[in-house]
A and B are shown apart, each in its own frame.
Chain A
Amino acid sequence: MAEVVLIEDIEASATRLGIDLSSVDLDSIQLPPGEDFGIKSDDDDDLYQEDPLEFEAGFGNIIVVDNLPVVPPEKFEKLEGVIRKIYSQIGTIREGGIWMPVNPETKKTLGYCFIEYNTPQEAELAREKTNGYKLDKSHIFAVNLFDDFEKYMKVPDEWKAAEIKPYTPGENLQQWLTDEKARDQFVIRAGSNTEVFWNDPRQLMPELVHQRQYWTESFVQWSPLGTYLATVHRQGAAVWGGATTFNRLMRFAHPQVRLIDFSPGEKYLVTFSSHEPSNPRDTHRIVINIFDVRTGKLMRDFKGNVDEFATGGSGGVSGISWPVFRWGGGKEDKYFARMGKNVISVYETETFTLIDKKSMKVENVVDFSWSPTDPILALFVPELGGGNQPARVSLVQIPGKEELRQKNLFSVSDCKMYWQNNGEYLAVKVDRYTKTKKSTYTGFELFRIKERDIPIEVLELDNKNDKIVAFAWEPKGHRFAVIHGDGPRPDISFYSMRTTLNTGRVSKLTTLKAKQANALYWSPAGRYIVLAGLKGFNGQLEFYNVDELETMATGEHFMATDIEWDPTGRYVATAVTSVHEMENGFHIWTFSGKLLYRISRDHFYQFVWRPRPPSLLSAEKEEEIAKNLKKYSKKYEAEDQDVSMQLNEQDRRKRKLLQEQWNEWVTKWKQLHEEERQLRIELRDGVVSDEEEEYEAKEVEVEEVLDITEEVVVFDLDQE
């Protein structure tokens, strides 16, 4: 608040100066502008603070359009009309906001103009949309923001060699793989904390690696090979990693980023954001950036309306099914693709442009997926023309875009594709209408990708009307599991793509009847599977060995919401995340279903194992190790025993210490209790006993008369 000048003070100084205040017309005094004579007016303060005017900082809302036709004055208005027409579609042009300078001598235009929009956003949009706009063959617009001109002006005219910094060796980002005890890491998010732990099954507890409060603003994600941990913030995403502690390796600016996705070889990071439109009638604006993870360089950005990215698929953010860009071609990160209306756009990462400079036209395509290992796309096109044109699934080789295989399917209601993780098999789950079209039944089309001509086999369940609850391929294997059935206790069947008798045909291994399961979790090493009953089944777990076709163990993690195998297939984590209010936390089990330890955490959001890159050993070497497992395991078993001995010893010592401490307390209490004995007796008026045993048990018989009734009993003497 401004200093208040009292009227008395003014009068006093007036008399001192010999001025008759009454003769002064105060309104006639004009102060020089900007001068307040040290007296702050509160009115001004209010004005500035309460209503901060929108300042126009710079010229962000002005664009410069270059490469316009040079026209004489008589055509000036026509050109201006054309420009106005083009640019007023994008946003509101300010009154008199188009200025096309004219050469004062020739009276011709100079071939460029300035356009002033209401907002910088509109200007930005106009630049994006019309840069490269072809008015005609010789006039391709070059549009720039006015503010950017300054930047371009500063570019030095002469090229200077970039200063080459001396090489500083980076940290070993793979350090965690060299753990002596061959442990795996995982990250959890609980409350405001994000923590990375070693899973230490020998100690039966996790060991903290790194902990940080407010590490991320929404979620964390490991890169597919485990090198980086990505965090998501309002300003963008960041990746962390390194030898011992997690240092920030790179930042990727992307305001209001919502979703992120790594390419499978973790070379690129795709970030996604959706922005509220300034005009409520408009759709949300989508911005997708693709960064190079190591350099942080923005490789390509895609911007547009929701409609351009929405594929009709459900889920995701505002009608977008994430990831928009699906990566293919194995670990080389060569290609990525997205689906549009009637097109599949496949890009390659060398130039970040479309292959052959155009998208693939596929009428009505609704779903596509990449083979996990090869540059092969699987596409699904539903029925057209009321069944006249059958639905089809086709496999397309990239970059040639040749169709490898196609299968037509009739009366299809829906299709889902499941790739085996080595890209050897593709299962297509097909829901077909029955003849009446009232209900559907399900079958599978199984593609053997690696065999000549890609043979297709049709598989129907024993009971075709069974609903399919879940489907999962054995990683690196040839088997798959299906949960099917309608009742509260569905059946689970295991099939193999090759058996000793029938190498080329799919055959059923077994069916487990009436299981409380609705989700399948194969071990990443295959062979073992967890049959889980989540949600409605309250977290029933069955650990099943598919080689022996036997149940190893059953367990329960009450209310479990998430299950994840560690990347080696040795341990399983089950977690209750904050979708439930209670029980939050996680349990760690062995592959065979033995509960190792439990950790409770309130507000538990995430549990993610740190992935491992694929083994560097050749298949032969792996086989050799498997054969001579005993030789290798001896060493580890000895270690295990040592640790367990050590733990026992530690436990014993700890227990002893606790007991001793407790005894100290008890001794002190006993002593005090004894000292106070006399006082206590006084308080109790001389009743001596402290102890229970000292009281005297007296048996007192109390007779109570409850009721008295008089009855006349007839005594009959005659009967005798």
Chain B
Amino acid sequence: MRPILMKGHERPLTFLKYNREGDLLFSCAKDHNPTVWFADNGERLGTYRGHNGAVWCCDVSRDSTRLITGSADQTVKLWNVQTGAQLYSFNFDSPARSVDFSVGDKLVLITTDPFMGLPSTIQVKQIARDPNEQSSESVLTIKGPQGRINRATWGPLNKTIISAGEDAVVRVWDTETGQLLKESDKETGHQKTVTSLSKSADGSHFLTGSLDKSAKLWDARTLTLIKTYVTERPVNACAISPLLDHVVIGGGQEAVHVTTTDRRAGKFEAKFFHKILQEEIGGVKGHFGPINALAFNPDGRSFSSGGEDGYVRLHHFDPDYFNIDPIPVFLARGGTLKNEDFVA
């Protein structure tokens, strides 16, 4: 599996997103320019220029016409995917951390960071069909959780909002009333900041990654903890394979703690786990900084990772990957599969 190295960003990557068809890959980085790439060959299509700060998150509409980006410049911008034109800019009083289109793309979920005494918020805005009629009014604003909310996403049928962040608690909110419906258990839940949250293809379950060196799989409707994947590194990013029963989690020693020059020291590996057996099945090395973003192509035949090193690595799986039998892997508990096992 020879990855395609996509060098387009000048600063650490923050987020990666495929469109529904899986032909386009959107990347966000701490440089101010979200970028769109051909997801097949890694060719750069263009950038969306206008942000004046690190871009933390993006989402693309189901029909791949609209892109929404949240940035540290305290704005959330709506773009025309094809032309790169800015359609609208929502202004906030604090940096926007995560954005997510609802089912139907009529609503968007935005979280803002605590800033200058302001608490963090989760806000819902309506997206007008015609950008000229776009309003900046919030339909719903939720305040409450302490600290940054790193990710918020829609629950099934837009009925709930799932949020997680610095206080390590995963919460489910009612979209109508803004009331807190469920909270993850302090004992069994994450112990440290939740850094990432990724939904399954059908939205029935989701995966959270945390600095407590684990990733956890939850039922999106009942917030039942289903699985835990334990690794040796703080987790910055995670994704669920839409095709096989695999999850991939990435992270690494925090950049400020990297002291050795040997890149093995930081374990900047994207690790594959068997979703059901919770066993590590392999790892993909390559980045020389922590992995900040991971995304599976919706067809499940490739995935991409974005690192603190500023690179996006696009991996197309070898045919062998699809034949990995979890049983021998599980039996050979002593030794796990390595990168070589993925190479034909």
**Interface, chain A (partner B; CB < 8 A):** 204, 538, 558-559, 581-583, 594-597, 600, 648, 651, 655, 658-659, 662, 665, 669, 672-673, 676, 679-680, 683-685, 687, 690, 692, 695
Contact = CB atoms under 8 A, between A and B. Distances in A.
B116 interface: no
Contacts of B90: none
Contacts of B103: 680, 683-684
Contacts of A648: 331
Contact of B62 (A204, A582, A655, A684): A684
Interface string B145-175: 0000000000011100000000000000000
Contacts of B221: 672
B276 interface: yes
Closest 5 CB pairs of A and B: A669-B204, A683-B104, A662-B276, A684-B104, A683-B103
A680 B331 contact: no
A187 to B, nearest CB: 23
Contact of B265 (A558, A596, A662, A680): A558
A366 to B, nearest CB: 38
B204 to A, nearest CB: 4
A595 B104 contact: no
A672 B156 contact: yes
B232 interface: yes
Mostly, the A contact residues are mixed
Contacts of B186: none
B219 A665 contact: yes
B277 A658 contact: yes
Nearest to B327: A655
B20 interface: yes
B262 A538 contact: yes
Contacts of A690: 202
A558 B233 CA distance: 14
A576 to B, nearest CB: 11
B330 A655 contact: yes
A665 to B, nearest CB: 7
B333 interface: yes
A559 B265 CA distance: 8
A533 B219 CA distance: 47
B139 interface: no
Interface in B101-149: 102-104, 106
Contacts of A651: 330-331
Contacts of B62: 684, 687
A692 B266 CA distance: 38
B157 A558 contact: no
Interface in B267-316: 267, 275-277, 298-299
B205 A665 contact: yes
Contacts of B277: 655, 658
B158 A204 contact: no
Contacts of B331: 648, 651
B241 interface: no
Given A559-B265, A582-B265, A680-B157, A669 B276 contact: no
B196 interface: no
B2 interface: no
Nearest to B335: A595
Mostly, the B contact residues are loop
B7 interface: no
A673 B253 contact: no
Contacts of B158: 683
A669 B21 CA distance: 23
A597 B157 contact: no
A600 B231 CA distance: 9
Contacts of B266: 582
Interface in B213-266: 219, 221, 226, 232-233, 245, 253, 257, 262, 264-266
B341 to A, nearest CB: 16
Contact of B257 (A204, A581, A673): A581
26 contacts: A204-B333, A538-B262, A538-B264, A558-B264, A581-B257, A582-B232, A582-B253, A582-B257, A583-B232, A595-B334, A596-B334, A597-B333, A597-B334, A651-B330, A651-B331, A658-B276, A662-B276, A665-B205, A672-B156, A673-B204, A684-B62, A684-B104, A687-B62, A690-B202, A692-B21, A692-B298
B264 A669 contact: no
B157 A673 contact: no
B325 to A, nearest CB: 12
A201 to B, nearest CB: 10
Given A655-B330, A692-B299, A600 B232 contact: yes
Contacts of A695: 21
Contact of A659 (B156, B233, B276): B276
A655 B331 CA distance: 10
Contacts of B275: 662
A471 to B, nearest CB: 29
Given A582-B232, A673-B204, A684-B62, 16 more contacts: A204-B333, A538-B262, A582-B253, A582-B267, A600-B232, A648-B331, A655-B327, A655-B330, A658-B276, A662-B245, A662-B275, A672-B156, A672-B204, A683-B106, A684-B104, A692-B21
B104 A685 contact: yes
A595 B333 CA distance: 10
Interface in B29-81: 62
A24 B262 CA distance: 88
Given A204-B334, A655-B330, A684-B104, A673 B265 contact: no
Contacts of A597: 333-334
Given A655-B327, A684-B62, A692-B298, A673 B226 contact: no
A187 B265 CA distance: 27
A673 B334 contact: no
Contacts of A658: 276-277
Contacts of B257: 581-582
A597 B204 CA distance: 35
A695 B23 CA distance: 14
Contacts of A662: 245, 275-276
A276 to B, nearest CB: 34
Contacts of A685: 104
A583 B276 CA distance: 26
B113 to A, nearest CB: 28
Contacts of B267: 582
A685 B105 CA distance: 10
A672 B226 CA distance: 17
Contacts of B106: 683
A679 B264 contact: no
Contacts of A676: 156-157
A359 to B, nearest CB: 50
Nearest to B252: A582
Contacts of B298: 692
Nearest to A203: B333
A685 B205 CA distance: 24
A600 B277 CA distance: 19
Interface in B309-344: 327, 330-331, 333-335
B292 to A, nearest CB: 18
Nearest to B275: A662
A704 B49 CA distance: 21
